[in-house]
Chain A
Amino acid sequence: MRFALRRLGFYALAAWAALTLNFVLPRMLPGDPASAMVARFQGKLEPEALDAMRRAFGFTDASLVEQYLTYLRHLFSGDLGLSIAYFPAPVSDVIGTGLIWTLLIAGVSLVIAFVLGTLLGIVAAWRRGGLLDSALPPALAFLGAFPYFWLAMLLLYLFGYELGWFPMRHAHAAHLSPTLSVEFIGDVAWHAILPVTSIVLASLGGWMLSMRNVMVAELGEDYIQLARAKGLDSRRVMLRYAARNALLPNVTGFGMALGFVLGGSLLTEIVFSYPGQGYLLIQAVRNQDYALMQGIFLMITLAVLVANFLVDLLVLWLDPRTR
């Protein structure tokens, strides 16, 4: 329990640092982005939009401390300013829908890659030097060496364009509106297959290799020798003894990998025109929508922190030594 609270404290601190960085960075740029944009959109933007933008950045004549407090107040009331790209929608609304799609794609592929990679790693270590152990790691390392978006483009080209088996873009067919119907969920899954597969393929090798290596080391430990000698059947030695211990460093790695996978899934979204954060990010960059960009970075950072905290809780539950 004390561990959990300490971790919570740590993440609160990290979140605060991210928020503050988000506030400081634009103010360290030469000139201020708001004025730059005012000049840029001169005459093309409604005055209220400009106003909203300035407010969003908190670029007022007030002192830096006051600006900072205003910024925090806005943030905690969920006010991230107005989006330029999707004017006049508030940034929080724009991000809100995008976030669901990103979490869906990144979350599902992360869980699939982790579970599958871990299982493969367990079997490879258990049958060390066997077919699975010799053939799969090089193949997966090869796949993992490609950038995420490259694999995504390859799948898109092969299975979307050439063979036409899967849809090539978007999260669901345009004629369906989001409901909890079987038809809609099926369609979302259908659209998710290619993006999820590309992320899984790119990250599977890492999970498998690290699980395999930790597990091979674990199998040399004395408690494994005792477990075997005292007559436990192999399945119990493999799962309850070796794998259960080998899992611990891997789960910790899971937390650290989240950031990378999220980053990778942003690129994948762009390839599949998937309406998640990555797609939004492109829109934001294209339209110089600083408020949206900042909002997205903030959301991603917070998502990674929350996920890491969940992983810590998982480790707490898995490893009695941390209690």
Chain B
Amino acid sequence: MSGAPLLEVEGLCVDYVTAEGPVRAVDGVTFQLRQGEILGLAGESGSGKSTLIHGIMRTLGPPGVITGGCVRFGGRDLLSMSPEELRRVRWRDIAMVFQSAMNALNPVATVYEQLADTIRAHEPTASARQLRTRGERALELVGIDPARIDAYPHTLSGGMRQRVVIAIALVLEPRVVIMDEPTTALDVVVEKQILQRVLQLKEELGFSILFITHDLPLMLEISDRIGIMYAGRLAELGPAQALRSDAAHPYTRGLMKAFPSTVGPRTVLSGIEGAPPSLANPPPGCRFHPRCDVAIDACRGAAPPLRQRTTGHWAACVHDSVDG
């Protein structure tokens, strides 16, 4: 199912420059997205997921700046590309569905215009007829009646708008699609519909997906591998199955317990005590230690690096086993 690394992120750091000084929102994140896989990214709100993918895509607006690391696609470093090189790679090879997909459409341009200018930006010679057929096909892919192609965004429902944004991401048939909570603000039925559509398309077109959602059960269900972020760092990374049954980081275990399991015996639901730390002034050592019930002195010293537990299963915790 998963092949060679397609997108490699290495030691990526992103800071927000605020009046009180720089705040490191993404701190040395390293992972690879493989050919044809679905990699899920989870973590509490504010853990830096969106910042991470905006760093990867180089779509950070001020005050965000990339302060270290590299991002390679097919061996080429995205971070050192000229704007024009980047313009060509982006969307052609890596496309993205923004977290706020509902507001990602230009209110005064039709769906057709917004699909067509995407194609035209990368294939200036495309004829008007081609633009229309490809636009219509992209809409069909996400389950929207192609007859709606000349509609303005405000005449579409929220779910349709999100699907249009997904269609815009897929219209060039990229090799990597990054989706940042593409289905938030949608009801469960529509959410399932859209995701099923995307998974089906993934099988047909063979792209890889980097997928962010707060819906952990859903993520466990569809992802091949999962990364867990905590306070700007990757806490754990491994096969979905391993994280479900064998989470190595106390934070991951806390997250798993916060959701009811759809299979297996009923367990008592519990959240994680406390709140995520301030990124401006993070605790020393492991950033999770103030909330961790198995924290020891070593956790307050140096930040634990990601260590491999079983093949392909990494966790940044000093403990070797679940019980400390």
Chain A interface residues toward B at CB < 8 A: 220-223, 225-233, 236, 240-241, 244-245, 248, 318-321
Contacts and interface: CB of A to CB of B under 8 A. Distances in A.
B131 to A, nearest CB: 14
Contacts of B117: 230, 232, 236, 240
Interface string B67-105: 000000000000000000001101110011010100111
A230 B165 CA distance: 11
B59 A228 contact: yes
B57 interface: yes
A320 B314 CA distance: 51
A245 B108 contact: yes
Nearest to A241: B106
13 contacts: A222-B104, A225-B59, A226-B104, A229-B90, A229-B91, A230-B90, A231-B91, A236-B117, A240-B109, A245-B108, A318-B108, A319-B107, A320-B154
A231 B61 contact: no
B121 interface: yes
Nearest to B97: A226
B152 interface: yes
Interface in B146-201: 152, 154, 165, 168
B132 interface: no
A226 B168 contact: yes
A231 B92 contact: yes
A231 B87 contact: yes
A217 to B, nearest CB: 13
B59 A223 contact: no
A231 B98 contact: no
A240 B88 CA distance: 20
A222 B108 contact: no
A321 B152 CA distance: 8
Nearest 10 CB-CB pairings of A with B: A231-B121, A320-B152, A222-B103, A226-B104, A230-B91, A222-B104, A230-B118, A231-B87, A223-B106, A222-B100
A24 B117 CA distance: 58
Contact of B103 (A223, A227, A244): A223
B122 interface: yes
A226 B165 contact: yes
Given A231-B88, A233-B121, 13 more contacts: A220-B61, A222-B100, A223-B107, A225-B59, A226-B168, A229-B57, A230-B168, A231-B118, A241-B109, A244-B106, A245-B107, A320-B108, A321-B154
A122 to B, nearest CB: 15
A233 B124 CA distance: 11
Contacts of B61: 220, 225
A144 to B, nearest CB: 29
A226 B108 contact: no
A244 B152 CA distance: 15
A223 B122 contact: no
A227 B118 CA distance: 8
Given A222-B98, A222-B100, A230 B121 contact: yes
Nearest to B95: A230
B59 A231 contact: no
A145 to B, nearest CB: 31
Interface string B109-125: 10000000110011000
B98 A226 contact: yes
Nearest to B101: A222
A137 B165 CA distance: 37
Contacts of B118: 230-232
